[in-house]
Amino acid sequence: MILEERSDGPGTDEDSSRLQDDSSILKDCDSILQKQPCQLQNQLAGLHQQISKELRIRTGAENLYRATSNTWVRKTVALELSYVNSNLQLLKEELAELSRGMDVDQPEGESVTIPMIPLGLKETKELDWATPLKELISEHFEEDGTSYETEIQELEDLRQATRIPSRDEVGLNLLAAYYSQLCFLDARFFSPARSPRLLFHWYDSLTGVPAEQQALAFEKGSILFNIGALHTQIGARQDCSCTKGTSHATEAFQRAAGAFRLLRENFSHAPSPDMSTASLSMLEQLMVAQAQECIFKGLLLPASDRPDSCPAQLQLAQEAAQVAAEYGLVHRAMAQPPVQDYLPASWTNLAHVKSEHFCALAHYHAAMALCEDSSDEGELSRHIFQPSTTCDPQGPTASSIQKMPQHLEERRKLGCGDSGTAVLDGQVLRA
């Protein structure tokens, strides 16, 4: 499915319409407001004022971006749109949390944690489905378009609800339901010979720059992108200090990677940078790496009860090396143009830090296994490290374990080398 690009399109200033989605959030807050009416009401009012201010700034910047042809001005406005987009995402996420009566920015079970990278959702303008669909039904199918007002209104309500979905399974189901409806509409109403005269308007999730297309594929691709982005937010919110949390986080990041892969394989020529082939490939690699990191955290939980177990330490060394390799691929993808031009620098730096961090952990756990005073010299040979076939583990950890000596003194010497490498990697990270 090709996303047909459209260079120009009519822009409209719909400040009030962009705030209509917030009214649905207010309705969900009624039960909370009965308990703490003053405090929550003040917080909600403050959030709405900030969102309204950011929307006005975005409207002005968007109008200037469309009107000017000066390259320097367009770059400056694009940077401003990026800042406004980030602020809006943070404010609306805070609003969604407040509407559910939750005040969670970090899982309570974790005191110190390595942050994950969640992805913000793409934003859109309100869309009028009724007029073009009624016209198409009357002209092409020769039926009374007004007889389908109820169904069309349900479709508009469903799309309106997907503009700020809740950050949970309910929000995912909402996005999936609208995506299914778009597939039905695509098969019934959209064809090369006919299609409703609609203009889909979406904002880039990374830069905030607006994009418009008449192709329904753009709408479907944007919804699929938001499904993947919402999975990343759910995964980043999990408490990885327990087995259940690591399992849910792993599944969420794997589903996000699947969504971005599906989008990359089935949609092309997207008008926004976040849906380009290079960006989607990088996002897919990032989610795979974060899923692998959650798997490592899950293995670390039971291993802490038996830290001197040789098989457990070898498995942790293998998984840590795999995580380091995955983040190494992510860092290289982030550092390549054109992705590096619009990706936050903090993402690239964090990917590099995680690559080095898990490489150090791989050396550390390998050293712990090598220095173990095992009475069974054949035990180590039954748990030899096997590198992954998908990507080569970083550092000498894999080769060191594959050539593991059977005598205790020789193993301890090799373990001292791995522990020294782990210390050096840690000093590099601190620097």
What is the b/e burial string over 109-135, where b = at least 16 CB atoms within 10 angstroms of the residue's CB? eeeeeeebbbbbbbbbbbbebbebbbe
**Residue-wise pLDDT tens digits, 301-328:** 865 555 556 778 888 989 999 999 999 9
What's the token pair of residue 414? 């090799």
Among 97-111, 164-178, 228-242, 354-368, the range scoring the smallest mean pLDDT is: 97-111
Of residues 99 and 135, more confidence is placed in 135
What does pTM read for this prediction? 0.72
Say yes or no to pLDDT of 237 above 80: yes
Residue with tokens 């919804």: 223
Say yes or no to pLDDT of 166 above 60: yes
**Residue-wise pLDDT tens digits, 18-74:** 444 444 444 444 444 344 445 655 665 676 677 777 777 777 777 777 778 787 777
**Residue-wise pLDDT tens digits, 326-375:** 999 999 999 999 999 888 888 999 999 999 999 999 888 888 877 765 54
Say yes or no to pLDDT of 228 above 90: yes
